[in-house]
Structure 1
Amino acid sequence: MMSLQDDQADYILTARGLTKVFGGITAVDNVDLAVRPNTIHALIGPNGAGKTTCFNLLSKFLQPSKGKISYAGKDITNEAPATIARRGMVRSFQISAVFGDMSVLENVRLALQRRVHGGSFDFWRSNKCLRSLEDEAVSLLDDVGLGDLRHHRAADLPYGRKRGLEIATTLALDPKLLLLDEPLAGMGQEDIGRTSELIARVAKTRTVLMVEHNLSVVATLSDTITVLARGAVLAEGTYAEVSRNPAVIEAYIGEVDEAHE
């Protein structure tokens, strides 16, 4: 067990004894997790393993029944999602969340406005003021391959491109820790490749914690993988390490193989 001093010095996010009980059913069971800065840390597991619940606990969209969560050396167990977002810990969701009637550019510019103007969207601001954010917005859209589509309605984008837009708006908040909930879900192969490259670039200057089912992407991108099964940590390590673990093969890798038979 690592000391609190080690947590603060070596990890950007830690969980100790994280537990969530719903009506007598334990969805997350005494989970310990430690995420190093400037790495990609993947949270994987079979269906019903507790990944989404654990992710919601870490991002503070659920309150734990027991346990402690620390971010950048500060106890955030009882803090609200908006508070930790202001501290630099920002998440995406499985379902793409964009403003469909706005243009692609307006979506990102609005997120930049939120960051630059200290928590106020201030819709009354002049067009001149908003245009000052346009260069950065266009740069973010270029990063996710949406620069040429910046004047399109967000609602008209294919699903995979909407996910790319969501990542761009999340990056506009300049997070230190980016939590991605199944960022590649529902994407075609071209979008998977583009988004995987984006996540790798993002992790050069910030930390990424993601829940993801695509094992080939997890294997390629992740520095550390935590495997959950029945709400508890089954194994942790590099992909090479966890993929050789007999318990992981039985609980997770084997399930994936059966699905493709």
Structure 2
Amino acid sequence: MSATGDFILKAERLTKRFGGFAAVSNVDLAVERGTIHALIGPNGAGKTTCFNLLTKFLQPSDGAIFFNGRDITRMPPADIARLGLVRSFQISAVFPRLSALENVRIALQRQRGDSFDFWRSEKALNRFDGKAMAGLDEVGLAEFAATPAGELSYGRKRALEIATTLALDPEMLLLDEPMAGMAQEDVSRISALIARIAENRTILMVEHNLSVVADLSDRITVLARGQVLAEGSYEVVSRDPRVVEAYIGVGHG
């Protein structure tokens, strides 16, 4: 974990109103470069709305967002991705009939700046194969390179989606509930993958699985009713009476 106070992503007074309802209200968030930062909270806490604001799928009603010191509050998602702030499953898409290798290769084409070049010759696309294989190897899928994506297990599909996101060479990766719907074996595998890819990247994740959060996170921000309830290490926030009350009182399904 970095201990420099060097914040790669910051949100100040982030607010989103839907009519008269404030789903997110005056949220301050600072993610330190080189860390895994988790955003947690009970159902209805505003986590998804906050995540959608940070990745610009929603436009804030008020407040500001900064990435590497640059104000990105009004920028569209595609431009933010080009800066190196990428939401997993935002640009990536798993094409079930294409092989794992072909899926990553398509993502590499996007990084090059071209559209999906389905009409290009196989020879023109083959030059991406080496980098695509390296991407599969990074997420533990090298042996499944020729396997159609639709035949992969659920956990390996999620790993492939992460590989296609990493093909965009992000400096910071935002993971939206990466463990959702997974069996324990897959949770363990993807947890290990996240820890590995975080060695040279910053990660912000929304995650319901608190044991995963405890194992992976350097810092945690707890939201409740659209506001920051607590922040700190897992040891600190898990002992905070307000956090305990919020989870027990509302449930965190």
TM-score bracket for the superposition, by shorter chain length: over 0.9
User: CA RMSD for the aligned pairs?
Assistant: 1.8
Partners of 2:190 and 2:22 lie apart in 1 by: 34
Aligned residue identity for 2:128: L
Contact residue 43 and residue 251 of structure 2 kept, 8 A: no
1:155 is paired with a residue whose SS is: helix
Partners of 1:81 and 1:215 lie apart in 2 by: 29
Partners of 2:71 and 2:114 lie apart in 1 by: 23
Partners of 2:248 and 2:155 lie apart in 1 by: 26
TM-score normalised over the length of structure 1: 0.90
Structure 2 runs not aligned, ≥5 long: none
Contact residue 70 and residue 76 of structure 1 kept, 8 A: yes
**Off by >6 Å, runs of 4+ in structure 1:** none
2:199 is paired with a residue whose SS is: coil
Aligned to 1:6: none
2:231 is paired with a residue whose SS is: strand
Structure 1 runs not aligned, ≥5 long: 1-8
2:200 is paired with a residue whose SS is: coil
1:156 maps onto 2:155 in alignment: no
> How big is the shift at 1:122?
3.0
Aligned to 1:237: 232
1:248 maps onto 2:243 in alignment: yes
Partners of 1:43 and 1:253 lie apart in 2 by: 18
Aligned residue identity for 2:6: D
Aligned residue identity for 1:77: T
> How big is the shift at 1:107?
0.6
Contact residue 43 and residue 250 of structure 2 kept, 8 A: no
Q: Deviations over 1:34-74 (max 9, x none)?
A: 00111000000000000000000000000000000001110
Aligned residue identity for 2:47: K
Partners of 1:54 and 1:72 lie apart in 2 by: 19
Contact residue 89 and residue 165 of structure 2 kept, 8 A: no
Aligned to 1:83: 79
Partners of 2:170 and 2:8 lie apart in 1 by: 12
> How big is the shift at 1:125?
3.2
Aligned residue identity for 1:200: A
Distance 1:206 1:253, change over 3 A: farther
Aligned residue identity for 2:117: D
1:223 maps onto 2:239 in alignment: no
Distance 1:144 1:254, change over 3 A: farther
2:236 is paired with a residue whose SS is: helix
Q: Deviations over 1:200-227 (max 9, x none)?
A: 1111111000000111110011011000
Report how many residues are paired.
248
1:196 maps onto 2:191 in alignment: yes
Contact residue 144 and residue 194 of structure 1 kept, 8 A: no
2:176 pairs with one of 181, 184, 202: 181
> How big is the shift at 1:88?
0.5
Partners of 2:160 and 2:75 lie apart in 1 by: 28
Counterparts of residues 49-64 of structure 1 (less than 5 Å): 49-64=45-60
User: How much identity, in percent, do the aligned residues show?
Assistant: 67
Contact residue 93 and residue 182 of structure 1 kept, 8 A: no
